[in-house]
Amino acid sequence: MNSLRLDRIRLTHVRVPLVEPFAISHAAIGEKDAILVEVFAEGLVGLGEASPMAGTFYSAQTPESSWSVLTENLVPLMQRAQELDLAGRWLAGATDDSFACCGVDGSLWDLVARARNRPLWSLLGGNGQREIPSGLAVGIHGTIEELLDRIERFVAAHGYRRVKIKVKPGWDVGPLEAVRRRFGDVPLMVDANCAYGRQDIEPIVSWDRFGLMMIEQPLAREDLEGHALLAARCHTPICLDESAETVEAVERAVALNAAQVVNIKLQRVGTLWAARRIHDMTAEAGIGCWMGTMPELGVGACAAMHFATLPNIVYPTDVEASERWFVAEVTTPPVRCVDGLLVLPPGPGLGVSLNAEVVRRYRVREEIIQVSCRLRPVLPPGIGSE
């Protein structure tokens, strides 16, 4: 297949209200920001999403800083580049903003998949027939009763395949005891978003009594050695999220035996190829993975769903039905979850298009930029099938 000639890019910053505020160990949000990336070429459009969280909810990158990186750095780089590729080599060293990279990289993969008239999963080496179980993630609430109420309500609505609760010092054992009392042996896990330190290793080891699927990111992002100490003491599998930020970081984690599970977030690792390399490396090491989310709007969520059909994605994903999070979804169709399984939209590429009316309603700003470069439609070495 010949290379594709790109002619323009449209960036749209949208801000969609959440159905209710979401709180984790150190912050809370009430709206979801994202930058939608549309790349136009030869009558086709590829969709991507750069999805940093507002403020310092998750990382130093914000919607405003990612907007600047896209408009002042990455798009000019595309304008100068002779030829882009799906391995993201042209992005190497351009920025440390993985969200901005993910937006552009995702749009190029979607474009190539559409040009080939193939679903994204088939380019990635996935299997579109695989089930994609969805797990409920519940934030920190004011009272345990509120927490139990949310779990009951959401599980009844969508039939999730596991429940994840956010924990922090002072909000861990009490909620866990209450969830076990109310919901019996529901598949359950916790996510601490780095809220604990090495001094907490013994109390965390004592959570073995709750029979959790895994404990996600208990210690600091950079403390792989601490996670290795904990993993050696704990029967419950340790999962890395924030620490698993690059291929190299996961390589180090594997070498240190720092985790038995890895949460792959496309927004954090920045390119689908990096995500695929992490997938392959962990498979080789006997470490199972699952697809995490920020959460993203429908474009980013859909990319994670396609990736979730790869063989070493063996735990339920955090991707949930659009209506659970957002008052409206920017894609048609929205993300649907039936009896705890996500519905992968059929058709080439991601299988979704933008809902222009919703995008217009929640648009913060938009920019259309002309580009003139070519995209090599070949897959990176060792990935997918031709």
Nearest distance from C-beta of residue 85 to Mg ion, angstroms: 30
Give the integer Cα–Cα distance in Å for 91 and 271.
9
Minimum distance, C-beta of residue 282 to Mg ion, in the bound complex (Å): 16
Stretch that binds Mg ion, among 59-67, 198-206, 222-230, 238-246 (CB under 5 A): 238-246
For the CB of residue 292, give the shortest distance to Mg ion in the complex, in Å. 6
Distance (Å, rounded) from C-alpha 360 to C-alpha 381? 39
CB nearer to Mg ion: pick between 70 and 195 = 195
Choice between 110 and 191, CB closer to Mg ion: 191
Determine the interface stretch with Mg ion among 98-106, 160-168, 236-244, 357-365 (rule: CB under 5 A): 236-244
- Tokens representing 301 are 């969520």
Residue whose Cβ sits closest to Mg ion: 241
Number of residues that bind Mg ion (CB under 5 A): 3
Collapsing DSSP to helix, strand or coil, 348 comes out as coil
Query: Where does this chain touch Mg ion (CB under 5 A) — which range of 48-56, 132-140, 183-191, 199-207?
Result: 183-191
With a CB cutoff of 8 Å and minimum separation 6, the contacts of 290 are 261, 263, 264, 308, 313, 314, 315, 316, 317, 318
Is 318 a binding residue for Mg ion by CB under 5 A? The answer is no
Q: Which segment (12-20, 83-91, 144-152, 239-247) binds Mg ion by CB under 5 A?
A: 239-247
Q: Which of 345, 350, 287, 277 is nearest to 109 (CA)?
A: 350
Is residue 166 annotated as part of the catalytic site, yes or no? Answer: yes
Taking the complex as a whole, the smallest distance from the CB of residue 382 to Mg ion amounts, in Å, to 28
Considering the complex, state which of residue 112 and residue 176 has its C-beta at the smaller distance from Mg ion: 176
Q: Based on CB atoms, which residue is closest to Mg ion, 49 or 191?
A: 191
Closer residue to Mg ion (CB): 128 or 139: 139
| Nearer residue to Mg ion within complex by CB, 189 or 272 | 189
CA distance 239 to 244: 9
Q: Which of 33, 38, 49, 241 binds Mg ion (CB under 5 A)?
A: 241
Q: Cα 132 vs. chain centroid, distance in angstroms?
A: 14
Catalytic residue, chosen from 32, 164, 166, 168, is 166
Q: Is 32 a catalytic residue?
A: no
We find the least distance from the C-beta atom of residue 213 to Mg ion, in angstroms, to be: 13
| Bridge-based pairing state of the strands 83-84 and 44-50 | unpaired
370: closest CA among 7, 37, 28?
7
CA neighbours closer than 13 Å in the CB half-sphere of residue 7: 6
3-state secondary structure of 222: coil
Distance of closest approach, residue 358 Cβ to Mg ion, in angstroms: 27
Applying CB under 5 A, which part among 3-11, 108-116, 134-142, 190-198 lies near Mg ion? 190-198
Residue tagged active-site, from 32, 164, 168, 265: 265
User: Closer CB to Mg ion, residue 197 or residue 382?
Assistant: 197
How is residue 156 written in tokens?
Answer: 């009844």
Residue 290 Cβ vs Mg ion, minimum distance, rounded to whole Å? 10
Distance CA 116, CA 112 (A): 6
Q: In what order do the strands lie in the sheet with 4-24?
A: 44-50, 27-41, 4-24, 363-375, 83-84
CA dist 213 and 282 (Å) reads 18
Distance CA 131, CA 30 (A): 31
Q: Are strands 261-264 and 288-291 parallel, antiparallel or unpaired?
A: parallel
Query: Which of 33, 85, 97, 191: binder of Mg ion (CB under 5 A)?
Result: 191
Pattern of binders to Mg ion over 198-227, x per CB under 5 A? ------------------x-----------
Residues labelled as active-site residues: 166, 265
Interface residues toward Mg ion, by CB under 5 A: 191, 216, 241
